[in-house]
């Protein structure tokens, strides 16, 4: 489902991603862990083309984008559009449109980007709201919702585009523990249903329980990769052990 080859990204002299390789099967859940500033979020942003990598290649569900420059030709722009449609993104800060209702937030992209009829988009949106436990909030505005509810709407909005992959960038870090659990329940449900997911998180229990594979990022590289039982119980890399010992004491 996902193949990443030698992905490189720098901001001036700051090397954020240094030759990342990654492959992921359909239905796998991969969790990225590591210290702040190690490149995890930039990696996700490159996958759905919010950032253009300096070099390397990204393939999602058979659609390939080469790094090095922004799309120039109509074919390259169409490839980028197709890649973005395959990768739904959920951010730390929700990013809902404040002037639109919950229902309008979810139907906007299917109608505008995919040309979905309004009635079909609304029917799909209501199904997704029921899935995330918010069927009674369709007419509410984001400001009327808790943080956990807003994040669940953001998940429904991403799912409305029928993505092949869901990318989560620290989706619970802005939430208090009770609201965090609401969002993690929805993510666990998606994982159990077979959604291909990449999750950047500090939720180590989620990584232990739900990940098929854990990647430890350090200094723009994948320092260690393996199943959660190996990463958490018997890490091979000193930096992984050091990071996990710090996280465990928090």
Query: Confidence class of residue 246 from pLDDT cuts 50, 70 and 90?
Result: confident
Residues 6+ apart with CB under 8 A from 144: none
- The tens digit of pLDDT for each residue in 60-94 reads 999 999 999 888 899 999 999 999 999 999 998 88
Q: Note the pLDDT of residue 250.
A: 55
Query: Confidence class of residue 249 from pLDDT cuts 50, 70 and 90?
Result: low
CA dihedral sign, ordered 50, 52, 53, 58: positive
Residues 6+ apart with CB under 8 A from 101: 138, 139, 140, 141
Q: Which pTM value belongs to this model?
A: 0.94
Query: Confidence class of residue 48 from pLDDT cuts 50, 70 and 90?
Result: very high
Residue 69 neighbours by CB distance under 10 Å: 11
Average pLDDT, rounded, for the chain: 94
Q: Note the pLDDT of residue 130.
A: 96
- The tens digit of pLDDT for each residue in 96-143 reads 999 999 999 999 999 999 999 999 999 999 999 999 999 999 999 999
Q: Note the pLDDT of residue 63.
A: 95
Q: Which residues partner with 165 through β-bridges? A: 87, 196
């Amino acid at each position: 489902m996902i193949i990443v080859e030698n992905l490189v990204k720098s901001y001036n002299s700051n090397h954020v991603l240094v030759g990342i390789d990654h492959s992921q099967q359909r239905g796998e859940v991969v969790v990225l862990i590591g210290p702040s500033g190690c490149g995890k979020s930039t990696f996700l942003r490159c996958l759905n083309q919010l950032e253009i990598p300096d070099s390397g290649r990204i393939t999602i569900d058979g659609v390939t984008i080469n790094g090095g420059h922004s799309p120039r030709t109509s074919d390259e722009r169409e490839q980028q559009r197709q890649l973005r449609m395959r990768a739904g993104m959920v951010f730390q800060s929700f990013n809902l449109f404040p002037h639109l209702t919950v229902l309008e937030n979810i139907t906007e992209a299917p109608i505008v980007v995919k040309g979905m009829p309004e009635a079909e988009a609304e029917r799909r949106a209501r199904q997704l709201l029921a899935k995330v436990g918010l069927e009674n909030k369709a007419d509410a505005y984001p400001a009327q919702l808790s943080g956990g509810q807003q994040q669940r709407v953001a998940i429904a909005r991403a799912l409305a585009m029928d993505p092949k992959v869901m990318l989560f960038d620290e989706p619970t870090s802005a939430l208090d523990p009770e609201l965090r659990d609401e969002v993690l329940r929805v993510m666990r449900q998606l994982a159990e249903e077979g959604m291909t997911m990449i999750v950047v998180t500090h939720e180590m229990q989620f990584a232990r329980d739900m990940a098929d594979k854990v990647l430890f990022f350090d200094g723009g590289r994948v320092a260690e990769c393996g199943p959660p039982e190996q990463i958490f119980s018997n890490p091979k890399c000193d930096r992984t052990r050091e990071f996990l010992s710090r996280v465990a004491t928090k």
